[in-house]
Amino acid sequence: MTVSAQGESIQNEVAYGIEYDWSNLDDDFDSLTGINLNEILSRTMLAATDAGLTLTVAQLSTGSSNIYVESAEDRTATTIEIDDESHSVWTRATDVTIRHAVLFDSALVTEWIDSSGSDPTGFDGYLSVDSENAVAVDVNMIEYLDDDYNLYGIDMDFSLASEVSVEYQMDAGLEGAGEEFDFALKFGTGFDLNVPEATAEWRLGEKAPFFPVVSTYEDVEIECADDAALTTSGSEADLKIECGTLEGDYSVSTGFTFDLSDIPTENFGMDAGLLDISISDEISSTGGWDTDMEDFLEADDDDDESDDHHDESDEHHHHGDGDYHHEHSGDDEST
């Protein structure tokens, strides 16, 4: 399967995106629910002060989430080869970029002392929780279309890098009867999932008028068949397509870490650091696939049918035997 192109003629360029700044989380939560978290924390600390207890609670969120989509049609004359037969097409490229990185920090500091007796009695403590998660996704999709917006195939490149980590740290002390006892603990865990590269290439057995049919009719049934055909009745359409083949390859890795340290084992008559633990592991895999698209869709249908939470009211949903159903209201544009 080969693709060749000559010249350049870009049309219908579209770009849009959304962004969220996580430092606005408290204000947005207040606007949506009417609950002011900072005011609740302030009142809690004042109540503790009235009770003779020193208490400081703080929390902070930073980072951002971004999704950007860019799409453009390249009307350059291009040929795509399917089953040793060349077809004249042009391409539409769509790039999806997702970037997400957030850090949540929380801390609690408290202290209470009773100095009324001959020996002071009290306690103090510190607790912090830090959570970090990051996701980066890149998707590049190329559709092969003719001047009537018939679809011949799709190429897709995909990559993913993600990481989640949480760290807890606690330090506490007790004092009374002339004795002191201190306790500390640090615990951290992390998980990552990465897909450095994944590619997929879908070639239909025959051109399919997906976009013209979906934009013209309100109720569309789409299913795989040996012979392509289109049957219409009023606002309904039954589209049979030669689903063709799907092939691709991938590489994926996943790993985790677990750390436990700073437990004062010496206070319990054990050697220092005896309970310190550090565990990590990573698994990676590479592979590929080459299958009939109809078999791929039927396998997906079987998974949907076994899902007890399948929603029959979904706008797009699968049916048995590789069927698809599409409904829309209003007039869609095929472009």
From the list 57, 38, 59, 55, the residue with the least C-alpha distance to 47 is: 55
- pLDDT confidence of residue 183: 84
Does residue 88 sit within a domain?
Answer: yes
From the list 172, 17, 146, the residue with the least C-alpha distance to 87 is: 146
From the list 87, 203, 210, 90, the residue with the least C-alpha distance to 145 is: 90
Per the structure, the count of domains in the chain is: 1
Does residue 333 sit within a domain?
Answer: no
Does residue 164 sit within a domain?
Answer: yes
Angstrom distance (rounded) from CA 190 to CA 100:
17
Does residue 103 sit within a domain?
Answer: yes
Neighbours of 321 (CB within 10 A): 12
From the list 158, 140, 138, the residue with the least C-alpha distance to 97 is: 138
Does residue 42 sit within a domain?
Answer: yes
- pLDDT confidence of residue 301: 57
Q: Tens place of pLDDT for every residue, the chain, 335 residues?
A: 445 444 458 888 999 999 999 999 999 999 999 999 889 989 999 999 988 889 999 989 999 999 999 999 999 888 888 777 888 999 999 999 999 999 999 999 999 988 777 778 899 999 999 999 999 999 999 999 999 999 999 999 999 999 999 999 999 988 887 788 888 889 999 999 999 999 999 999 888 998 999 999 999 998 988 888 999 999 999 999 998 899 999 999 999 999 998 887 777 778 877 888 999 999 999 999 888 888 777 765 555 555 554 444 444 333 344 444 555 444 444 33
Does residue 312 sit within a domain?
Answer: yes
pLDDT digits (tens, 9 = 90+) for 10-63: 888 999 999 999 999 999 999 999 999 889 989 999 999 988 889 999 989 999
Are 45 and 55 in contact by the 8 Å Cβ rule? The answer is yes
- pLDDT confidence of residue 288: 92
- pLDDT confidence of residue 307: 54
What is the DSSP track for 200-251?
Answer: EEEEEEEEE-HHHHHHH-SEEEEEE-SS-EEEEETTEEEEEE---EEEEEEE
Range of the domain at 273: 3-327
pLDDT digits (tens, 9 = 90+) for 185-196: 899 999 999 999
From the list 188, 184, 191, the residue with the least C-alpha distance to 166 is: 188
Angstrom distance (rounded) from CA 51 to CA 176:
20
Does residue 334 sit within a domain?
Answer: no
pTM for the model: 0.76
Does residue 148 sit within a domain?
Answer: yes
Are 171 and 133 in contact by the 8 Å Cβ rule? The answer is no
